[in-house]
Structure 1
Amino acid sequence: MPASASSTHTLLAAFETHYAELIRYIARRTGNVEEARGLAHDTWLRIAERQSDGDTAATDPRAYLFTISHNVAMNHLRRGHWMAGYLAECEQIDAGAPAQTPDVADSAMYRQALAVVEKTLAGLSPRMRDTYLANGLHGEKQADIAARLGVSLNTVERDIAQAARCIEDALHAWRNPRAPARAASSAGRRKSLAALLGVFAVGVSGTAAWHHLQREALRFQTALATVRGRQLQRGLPDGSELTLDASSRVEVDYTAERRLVRLLDGAAFFAVQRDTDRPFIVEARGVQVTVLGTRFGVDIDGGQGVLVQVESGRVRVDTGDQTDELTAGQSLRAFEGRLRRDAIERPAAWRHGELQFHDMPLADALARVQRYSTTRLSATPAAGRLRISGELRVADAGDWLASLPRVLPVRIKTLADGGVEVAAR
């Protein structure tokens, strides 16, 4: 074995030995245990990709390992500080230019304003509320309203004017004009609110505009992706949380009717806030998972099947012609129209740096490990069909690969491009 390969193997063994200590070390510097796990994976990748450093690593593997971890953590913090400054600059630039689409703060403002208006309308007398909405939203003429209700035209005009004043007073109270700092920081958004005020004060919009405002106030869209070896945790506008595995992609699309996430590649874990009016839906490869409030993971495996694992609560899984329900500790794999149920102790174990294989084709297991490996992994058709079960810590991927010939009738071959191929013996 070449000296550089021996040194790398020694460092990976030290990584395994000191893994828990390493997590604590990085977490003390970043202040975040989840980030520490991701940065530990970066450390493992640095070791796997390293060139020989002479005898430095072999002399004291633990010290060398913690030096790499320290450098990785410091680079991460520097990038974070740079990004914070960059975003602050972007915010200043955006403040000086009109927004093209509502941001999350705009959406929150619209929701609050709509809630104020609806509460005010509910507090009006039935005749005054109906008169105001009939004229302002439905466009009914005041004379026609007076004839329909059997009251004078002056009464209709007075009801509309009084309702408009109540709404305007409620909105002014909500905006709190006596807070100058907030008014100055929100000046751009107050222009957006003018359109909302116009719906009620001027009454030029119809019912369609009202429903459009309600829908757009709850609209949120974004796309997220991760690179090999890195995970991402992101909060969503409704208070739900999304954890994205390495080499994964999602699209998030929230509307007034539903909360939709499309998993395009990889795996994701969701901690969903309950909202009976807007179900939370995850779509992946023709499989639809629907919940109200729960914690669960969805994984597109190497064979392009979809694995759903529930940590708490209940989910419904639809595959077009089949429907099933899962509760805590249950998993379901959907592939080519077939569903297979299993019990699982640790749903989405990849969040903790572990992978679990349950009677999985070796080709699919290699594709799963590939999300973290810098080396291209493949299997011949015969080897890829072999089944494998067990658990694997991501940091031990190299040792796991080397051990395959001891548990399966395969051999490991290094290709000319540096990739690794697993072939049947």
Structure 2
Amino acid sequence: MDLEITAMDPAHPATLLDLPWDVPLEEWPERHLVALPRGISRHVVRFAKAGSEVVAVKEVGEWAAAREYQLLRDLDRLGVPAVDPVAVVTGRRDARGEPLEPVLITRQLKGSLPYRSMFETTLRPGTIKRLLDALAVLLVRLHLNGFAWGDCSLSNTLFRRDAGAYAAYLVDAETGQIAPTLSRGQREYDLDTARLNIAGELMDLEAGGSLHPAVDPIPFGEEIVERYGALWHELTRTSVYPRDKRHYIDRRIRRLNELGFDVAEMQIQRAKDGDAISFVPKVVDAGHHQRQLLRLTGLDAEENQARSLLNDLETWMAGQEDYAPGDPLGARPEVLAHRWVRDVFRPAVRSVPPELRAGVDTAQIYHELLEHRLMLSESRHQDVPMSVAAEDYVQQFFS
């Protein structure tokens, strides 16, 4: 059998031909390799240069390589965070004509790290929790798309920080399978596997002196099950809100916030009996909201103020007719954010007389108006316009 390269992109076979396929992967010359941190794998894995890209090359059986390649293509089509499949190479032979194991090639995920590299700096307990939260988000997204992982663990995950956000990416789909929907038993199997694997991996770090002394591996292993359960419930329960009770959306976002998640994306679908809402959660690091609010609106606020304002901005944007994430014809978030500042934020703040807001920054004023509007909406069981909330706010606190 001759060398065969099966690739998604027609440009890849040409760049991949330059790699030494007649040499076992563990013996590849240094000139082809890139020194990047690697996680633990049952297979030989190397990072290599392929044209202008860096790729991860994994030796694995032909059937397993073809199957994982297809699974990763399916996950890419579903928009689930996972490494990008590049190619499968079969028909490899060494200089003596002896067969060599096929390889699966994936694109190196820029800025990502395996968990062991992250723990070399002895991560604080709070940071570890955020990483596990990111893994819980990934597992929920996989399950929502009908993917049973089969071997959820820190070792099979890459973590990346982007503007303060933590994101987890599936890096090993070898044991996975896709179905239209997953049974509760399939989901619970993944959770049990995750709990045991994570506790074991943390114990291994503890034995090597790389785990923060305040971290107990067993409770941390259990915690991902709890976080997953709360997030799964909040994301999968059916909710159709009457159009005159949009404050229910604010309440729902607050529950996600209390779980430690922020809304990265919100979708509102029109229905005859109300608006159906779906959310995409995100785990963020300190200062994320300040930076994002400043980038989108130019408003400089404290972190909790920024979180409150961004939640309101996200809710407002999702209800705009020209907001269509991913649609090049839709309005960009920056454009909508400018409109929100002009049409929503500034009029609301100006509705509070200047003498009453002297010495108080505008972000705090708007945050307090949001809090007051939600309280009124909840008590009246209907949406209260910001103008009404501002008038009541001034009367109640400054009369």
Query: TM-score, with normalisation over the residues of structure 2?
Result: 0.28
Q: Which has the higher strand share?
A: 1
Query: TM-score, with normalisation over the residues of structure 1?
Result: 0.26
